[in-house]
Chains A and B, each alone.
Chain A
Amino acid sequence: MNAALNHPILRRALSIPPSYFVFAMLLFVLWVARPHMLNLNIMGIFIRQIVPLGILVLGQLLVMRVRSIDLSGGGVILLVNYFISSGLFPGASLTFFIAIGLATGTAIGLFNGYMVARRRVSAVIVTLAVSIVLLGFVQFLSSGKPPGDVPAMFGEIYNTRWGPLPTPVLFWFALTGLMMIFLSRTVFGRYVASVGESAEAAHFAGVPVERTVILAHTLAGFIAAIAALVQTASIAVGSVRVGLDLPILAVAATILGGVVFGRGEGGVLGPFFGALSFALLFVVMTVFGIDEPGKLIAQGLIILLAAIFYGLRSGNAN
């Protein structure tokens, strides 16, 4: 098997993130099964549903590039949703809500970063624990019941479109572009890449490893807050359950996109297509009548197979 894996053509094919293959495959399945669904208007609506996931992926890929992980996105989404929908700040302006949401996310991200980089606590444990603390906190504040309605101004922005594409989708595309520029053109982007390759080597080369990891987590928290704002606008009501499965989906999309703990071959576009693949996957599963348990199994298998795909290659390289 090793000899086969070393074949140059196969090696070349293996270095392409799986998300491209999965995306093409799902597109083909949809084209065969429901060709009439493949137009920009319908797809725009499906893609709009996964914009929060797509945005969360941008933060996830950042922390996974520095060999960390952020599972606290669910908690951030819940808390921001609670702030907006509970009527805690009556009559507040849109800017105020956006500001407090972003500040919350950034603070949580900073805390994650401090715990991971300075205290050296396992990132999975810390971010999961943060998520659970926030979940318990929000459920306590709202007594386990959905808090209330989201101010109408969120829905008004959410439902606008630019030509055939909904505004949230364009917003996601723009953020993705920004992240690509940020990672490829800034010093911080280089730091992220070097810490991902080898934290030890980066440290001896003068890269502030701890600060890079803290900043990556802080940015991930900030981005999670953006995702939370979009998610809140999309469901238009308060909820004590919204977005809890998003972090794990974001991890799945990121791995599918070729970014696995330090390895960043997928860049930003790989995970981007990973998120798009999930949009298509949900459509395909709905088309074939697969319900929630089937979706859970599919999510798990996708993470597992994508991780095995990378594990095989790294094992082979050694």
Chain B
Amino acid sequence: MKLEPAIQPRPATRITSLLSGSRRKRGRQGLWLVPLLIAILIGIALALQTEQFLSRENLFNLVAQAMPLVITAIGQMFVVIVGGLDLSVGSTISFTTAILALDAPGYVLIPAVFVLAALIGLTNGLVITRFNVHPIIATLAMQYVILGFARMLRPVSGGTVPELVISSVAGSFLGIPMPVIWGVVVILIAWKLLYGSRFGLHLFAIGGGVASGAEDAARNFGIADRRNTVIAYVACSLFAGLAGVFLAGRIVSGDPNVGLLFELDAITAVAIGGTQLSGGIGSLHGTVIGALVLALLSNGMNLTNISPFVQTAIKGAILMFVVGLQSRKKMGL
């Protein structure tokens, strides 16, 4: 079997490389400058079209609207880098809001949400790594199971979520709006996981092997590929659970359909951010920018009164387009 080098020298991942741009064109970070330019262009266009776009309130509102997608996309990114895909995050978000709207105190519900989310990820990861099930099939099946549970708990939207959850996303702390704080904390955690830990480095190594058709490459270098893959799926579900908590605080109730098609938005955001869906290449900043591009787009489409149905179609077309731009050798799934 042909073994391509799966582990490349660790790229500079400090802030300096962020500022100096993508000198390493086919490096591990992927093309993230392009979406940044797109985001800036959309921002300028929106600022020119509507005066209130650049107002403090609208910008903070935009952050609050984008946050669930940013968090979910970051989670999805871990799985995508390792060469997988998680289609169950949308259902996990719905399920989380349904749990939070149960009739129980917040100190029970909030830990319960994360335990259950971790369990979902653990099941995904174990089914994929131990039973050789294709990630898409495993998570697609899981999507239906979790959606069923969410609808069982809460057939239609309603109920109220704990006060703690509501207050954690509304208002501000030291003059900084809470959604911004959420964003900073989540990004810092993800940064530490992806760039500041052995785990993150191993994700790139495993994904690089998968992408170049040498699935065993990382294992041959002594990386616990199965365990790290499972952890990536657990992280993905935990981030989805976090996004669910944020959303529940925003809508103040449980809704079994709130996460519908969210997984596709998350995948689109990851793909826009330059992360290769075949694995091994990707970046956190790209993913965040990708999510912001999508959020700006829907903000812009709302401001220009485009029908929500057309917005659905446009989002589908964008997904197809950005994924279509990525070249890969493998055919099929």
Q: Which residue numbers of A lie inside 8 Å of B, CB to CB?
A: 66-69, 115-117, 119-126, 128-137, 139-140, 143-144, 199, 209-210, 213, 248, 251-252, 255, 261, 292-304, 307-308, 310-312, 314-315
Please determine whether B134 and A307 come into contact, CB atoms closer than 8 angstroms.
yes
Question: Does chain A have a CB within 8 A of B328?
Answer: yes
| Distance (whole angstroms) from the CB of A65 to the closest CB of chain B | 11
Please determine whether A123 and B333 come into contact, CB atoms closer than 8 angstroms.
yes
For B316, give its contact among A121, A133, A199, A304 (CB under 8 Å): A133
Please determine whether B313 and A115 come into contact, CB atoms closer than 8 angstroms.
no
Question: Does chain A have a CB within 8 A of B145?
Answer: yes
By beta carbon, the residue of chain B nearest A299 is B144
Given A300-B148, A303-B137, 16 additional A-B pairs, CB 8 A? A69-B332, A120-B329, A123-B332, A125-B323, A126-B324, A130-B320, A133-B313, A133-B316, A133-B317, A133-B320, A134-B313, A140-B309, A144-B309, A251-B137, A304-B142, A315-B132
For A307, give its contact among B133, B320, B323 (CB under 8 Å): B133
* Given known A129-B319, A304-B138, contact A136–B314 (CB-CB < 8 A): yes
Please determine whether A311 and B151 come into contact, CB atoms closer than 8 angstroms.
no
Please determine whether B313 and A137 come into contact, CB atoms closer than 8 angstroms.
yes
> 22 A-B contacts, Cβ less than 8 Å apart?
A116-B331, A119-B324, A124-B140, A124-B333, A132-B316, A132-B319, A136-B310, A136-B314, A140-B309, A140-B310, A213-B332, A248-B140, A261-B332, A297-B152, A299-B141, A300-B145, A307-B133, A307-B138, A307-B141, A311-B131, A311-B132, A314-B132
Residues of A near B316 (CB, < 8 A) are 128-133, 135-136
For B264, give its contact among A129, A144, A298 (CB under 8 Å): A129
By beta carbon, the residue of chain A nearest B150 is A293
Residues of B near A116 (CB, < 8 A) are 331-332
For A304, give its contact among B87, B145, B148 (CB under 8 Å): B145
Residues of A near B87 (CB, < 8 A) are 124
Chain B window 55-84, contacts with chain A (Cβ cutoff 8 Å), 1 for yes, 0 for no:
000000000000000000000000000000
Please determine whether B148 and A122 come into contact, CB atoms closer than 8 angstroms.
no
Please determine whether A300 and B331 come into contact, CB atoms closer than 8 angstroms.
no
Q: In the assembly, what is the distance between CA of A19 and CA of B262, in Å?
A: 32
Question: Does chain A have a CB within 8 A of B136?
Answer: yes
Q: In the assembly, what is the distance between CA of A124 and CA of B138, in Å?
A: 13
Question: Does chain A have a CB within 8 A of B267?
Answer: yes
| Distance (whole angstroms) from the CB of A269 to the closest CB of chain B | 22
Residues of B near A295 (CB, < 8 A) are 148
| Distance (whole angstroms) from the CB of B81 to the closest CB of chain A | 15
Q: In the assembly, what is the distance between CA of A67 and CA of B333, in Å?
A: 7
Please determine whether A293 and B151 come into contact, CB atoms closer than 8 angstroms.
yes
Q: In the assembly, what is the distance between CA of A261 and CA of B135, in Å?
A: 13
Residues of B near A314 (CB, < 8 A) are 132
Question: Does chain A have a CB within 8 A of B155?
Answer: yes
Please determine whether A132 and B315 come into contact, CB atoms closer than 8 angstroms.
yes
| Distance (whole angstroms) from the CB of A302 to the closest CB of chain B | 8
Question: Does chain A have a CB within 8 A of B54?
Answer: no
Question: Does chain A have a CB within 8 A of B127?
Answer: yes
Residues of B near A137 (CB, < 8 A) are 309, 313
